Chains A and B, each alone.
Chain A
Amino acid sequence: MLIVACIKQVPDTTQVQIDPVTNTLVREGIPFIVNPYDTHALEEALRLKDRFGCAVAAISMGPPNAEGTLRKALALGVDRAILLSDRVFGGADTLATSNVLSAAINKLHHECDEVGLVLCGKQTIDGDTAQVGPGIASRLGFQQLTLVDRIVELDTTGRRIRVSRKLEGRHEIVEAPLPAMLTVVRELNRPRYPRVPMRLAASDATVEVWNNQVLKLDEQSIGLKGSPTWVSKIFSPERAKGEILGDGYADPDGAARLLINTLLSKDMLPL
């Protein structure tokens, strides 16, 4: 059985600043990271590999520099790392993205090993739609189990999976037959840290690159052409600038008192 982890390279949004003039995100010079939720999806795939010995492939659609993201996955122990990169994939919305990703998974399924599980993050920190995972599941006809915070049981012979889903204020235990697509939340696990010999091996390993000559998708279903969603405007909402109350360094007691009184006067402390 093959497990596929979908990982996306995203800008480190804590370092993104808003251009005060154009009011758009300034992306230049911002380092890229692996989408934080995806690191948990990857970790879970690797844990299943450790437990059941199944192979893990990491795939990512993105520009050529997303190769770094896949090298990180190799350093952590994935067996294959595949970058889906082609100019015609560019400008994709979530529909076109899931078309490409599911085509790649399908290819792995037919040419490598049957895919039992696809693991995705719950959402990305830049697009934030949480649609790609479910999009892949419906395209591939897989069961979809979203917001997973624990895999309760995986029965590889009986081909069933039972997971806990983290919902608002409650957990839901659900069971489904394989193959299934899971989107995962941070509570699922603590991602591992790469060992140096693996990092060195990863820097010599090859990241496979699949373009559309490999996937052979209809250009009307991918990239900008295959994207029915259009972004008409991106702007940051106006936020009223707060004021700085007191001096917490010179007079911590006074500052605390001032804060409590202010919150009380605005009726913001439930008493």
Chain B
Amino acid sequence: MSPNHTVFTVLLVASFLFFAWGCWRRLSLITLRTPEDRFDSIGHRVGEMLKFAFAQKRVLAKPFGINHFIIFWSFIILLIANIEFMLHGVCPWFSLTKLPDGLLRPLLLVLDIVSLLALASVVIAAIRRLVSPPYPEARTIEAFFILSLIGILMLAYFGINAARVVNGEMVSVFAWMPVSGRLALLIPATSAGSVYLIAWWAHAFALLAFMCYLPYSKHMHILTAIPNCFFRRLEKPNTQAREEFVSGKSFGVGQVDRYSWKDLLDSFSCTECGRCQQVCPASITGKPLNPRAVVHDIKVNLLENASRLAAGEKPALPLIGDGGEGSVSEESIWACTTCGACMEACPVFIEQMPKIINLRRHLVEEEAHFPEELLNLFENMEGRSNPWGIAPSERTKWCSQMDVKPFEQGSTEYLLYVGCAGSFDSRSKHVSVALAQLLDKAGISWGILGKDEKCCGDSVRRLGNEFVFDRMARENVAMFREKGVTKVITQCPHCFTTLKNDYRQYGLELEVIHHSELLRNLVQDGNLKLNKTASGLGTTVVHDSCYLGRHNDLYDAPRELIEAATGTAPAEMERNRANAFCCGAGGGRMWMEEHSGERINLTRVKEALEEKADTICVACPYCLTMFGDGLKDVKADNVRVLDVAEVLAEAVLR
């Protein structure tokens, strides 16, 4: 009763070669491409890999993650059994049973239990995929095929051991195999030989089939997810890489091989879990954008065009195209709000948003092809350095009734970078006034740049107009240096992140503080005394701005400020903090129409109204506009939206 070892050896070698060839074909596509340095802080990277790939911290962030955790670790532990199986298949004398009983017993106990757990997990996974898949397209034949292969492996493992026990081979350790041992009782001695052979070959075929199929399926992530966690971006992915503007270069990504090797590795690491699309405001509200599909399309496009690209020819399947498999539609490229929810959710640290912005860069910079609404925006930004094209001399109109000083090098501590919305938007100007009064009340030394202030460039950068952003950033950086600005207060999370994170790429390290944080500190340190509690605001609910929260980890300051001013903690929406839902204005979407699906701001306003709030508190001028508009649309006349500075002003100034 022994399987034909020669046949197995031949099959094993063939499968290995097929597996290696498949892996090489794919991975070689990655290594040939655009460089990007991800080899810094190796020690830290190892730690991140252990935490996220092996301890599966992000996978476990969702309840069903435990199931994946079990399958992952079963895989690792069962490697012992599977390696033994393959070696035994080639050299029959090799067997774990040669180990002394003292070692063999606990080992078999562990393998048996782990196999049972894995079996249970794949059954649960299959049922879940049938009954309530993470997204409808997740019910693929591929998924069920892989799950059944794993199931067969486990069952065959039990079968092999049970048959050996019946055959009298492993009698001394019989009691240490709770499953295989029990199964042995059901096998009549006469059929033990054939059961063994059937189970052995089933195991062999399942194992080899799995190996052969792996590089061609989404299960490639088994190999790539671990390095992907190692090579993850160590800082928050809240900014995009700079481009160098010299003749002869191409800008953005219009062809798949212009992506960096890490982008391409990302595409092979996607587990197709769908967590990104479940949190994407564009996907949720019915836009054609789906971050999972973008990552998948990059992979398909790469594979489809691989041979042509290798030959230096133009790709046959365009990367930006009709939105069929392997190409991303323009409408989806423009639908991204750059909220970062996808990147926060992805268990393997895929960076979807920078990939989308790279596509925008190609459209804007190489083709000058973008939604009509953006033409004015781009020209206004370049010509007058603000989104509306208002004359810079009007930048100080918001404070025409106040005594506001210009920023003076040496004598002024903080620059109040008012921002375009705070300077020009009729609603946000009230926030600027409230903030200015609070700063004065607290005795802060602050000043403004007045008509010299220029837009930070956030919208143009997120919209892919890196060329114009680069100019704006250089001008601002030069001006800040010349004027000796080191500490900046912003009331807009977009200015905040741009000055703090994007300008760092230009060698400017500013101490940037968002007004919610500064005001919170001033209240906590007793520099701003409250006159009363702002009880007139009724029930408050708080909304997290993406660029404050997810992109910069600032969650507590607005909450503590509201609580200090009103005496009660604000209500939380169902999706809050790192899981908060975008207002719809980020990524330059503020300046564009929403043509399909439900409006993002309406979705969020309705969520806020669920909390029966009288006042929605925000800390961003864009959120202020989006909520204001949304409230008008749902005719919630009795609900107000206020900036946190205005909330505090109620308690301090009134």
Contacts and interface: CB of A to CB of B under 8 A. Distances in A.
B467 interface: yes
Contacts of B383: 12, 31, 33
A248 B429 CA distance: 13
Interface in B342-379: 364-368, 370, 372, 375, 378-379
A196 B392 contact: no
A193 B378 contact: yes
A103 B393 CA distance: 40
Contacts of B427: 249
Given A33-B383, A199-B467, A193 B375 contact: yes
28 contacts: A12-B384, A12-B391, A14-B389, A15-B391, A15-B393, A31-B383, A33-B383, A190-B375, A192-B368, A193-B364, A193-B375, A193-B378, A193-B379, A194-B368, A195-B365, A196-B245, A196-B467, A197-B247, A197-B250, A197-B251, A197-B366, A199-B467, A200-B245, A200-B246, A200-B247, A201-B247, A248-B426, A249-B427
Contacts of B500: none
A15 B427 CA distance: 23
Contacts of A196: 245, 251, 365-366, 467
Contacts of B367: 195
Which 8 residue pairs spanning A and B have beta carbons closest together? A196-B365, A193-B368, A200-B247, A15-B391, A195-B368, A196-B467, A14-B391, A196-B251
Interface string B228-247: 00000000000000000111
Nearest to B385: A31
Contacts of A199: 467
Nearest to A200: B247
Contacts of A248: 426
Interface in A182-233: 190, 192-197, 199-201, 204
A248 to B, nearest CB: 8
Interface string A231-258: 0000000000000000011000000000
Contacts of A197: 247, 250-251, 366
B430 interface: yes
A17 interface: yes
Given A195-B366, A196-B365, 18 more contacts: A12-B383, A12-B384, A12-B391, A14-B391, A15-B391, A15-B393, A17-B393, A190-B375, A194-B368, A195-B365, A195-B368, A196-B245, A196-B467, A197-B247, A197-B251, A249-B426, A249-B427, A249-B430
Interface of A: 12, 14-15, 17, 31, 33, 190, 192-197, 199-201, 204, 248-249
Contacts of A190: 372, 375
Contacts of A192: 368
A197 B254 CA distance: 14
A204 B251 CA distance: 18
Contact of B384 (A15, A17, A195, A249): A15
Nearest to B466: A196
Interface of B: 245-247, 250-251, 364-368, 370, 372, 375, 378-379, 383-384, 389, 391-393, 426-427, 430, 467
A31 B365 CA distance: 24
Contacts of B247: 197, 200-201, 204
Contacts of B364: 193
Contacts of A14: 384, 389, 391
Nearest to A194: B368
Nearest to A15: B391
Chain A CB count within 10 A is highest, among B368, B383, B384, for: B368
Contacts of B426: 248-249
Nearest to B365: A196
B221 to A, nearest CB: 36
B203 to A, nearest CB: 58
Contacts of A12: 383-384, 391
Chain B CB count within 10 A is highest, among A15, A196, A199, for: A196
Contacts of A249: 426-427, 430
B455 to A, nearest CB: 14
Contacts of A31: 383
Nearest to B426: A249
A192 B368 CA distance: 8
A184 B88 CA distance: 86
Contacts of A194: 368
B202 to A, nearest CB: 59
A33 B380 CA distance: 12
A201 B249 CA distance: 11
A190 B372 CA distance: 10
A35 B370 CA distance: 24
Contacts of A200: 245-247
Contacts of B378: 193
A199 B368 CA distance: 11
A196 B468 CA distance: 10
A263 to B, nearest CB: 21
A108 to B, nearest CB: 28
Contacts of B393: 15, 17
B631 to A, nearest CB: 13
A27 to B, nearest CB: 13
Contacts of B246: 200
A194 B366 CA distance: 9
Contacts of B370: 193
A15 B383 CA distance: 11
A194 B383 CA distance: 14
A197 B247 CA distance: 6
A14 B12 CA distance: 77
Chain A CB count within 10 A is highest, among B246, B375, B391, for: B391
Contacts of B375: 190, 193
A190 B251 CA distance: 24
A14 B379 CA distance: 14
Contacts of B372: 190
A7 to B, nearest CB: 16
Contacts of B251: 196-197
B392 A15 contact: yes
A108 B246 CA distance: 32
A141 B389 CA distance: 40
Contacts of A17: 393
A200 B245 CA distance: 8
A15 B370 CA distance: 28
Nearest to A250: B430
B399 to A, nearest CB: 16
Contacts of A204: 247
A204 B467 CA distance: 16
A21 to B, nearest CB: 17
A110 to B, nearest CB: 34
A186 to B, nearest CB: 13
A194 B467 CA distance: 11
B369 to A, nearest CB: 9
A265 to B, nearest CB: 26
Nearest to A248: B426
Contacts of B430: 249
A30 B372 CA distance: 28
A3 to B, nearest CB: 21
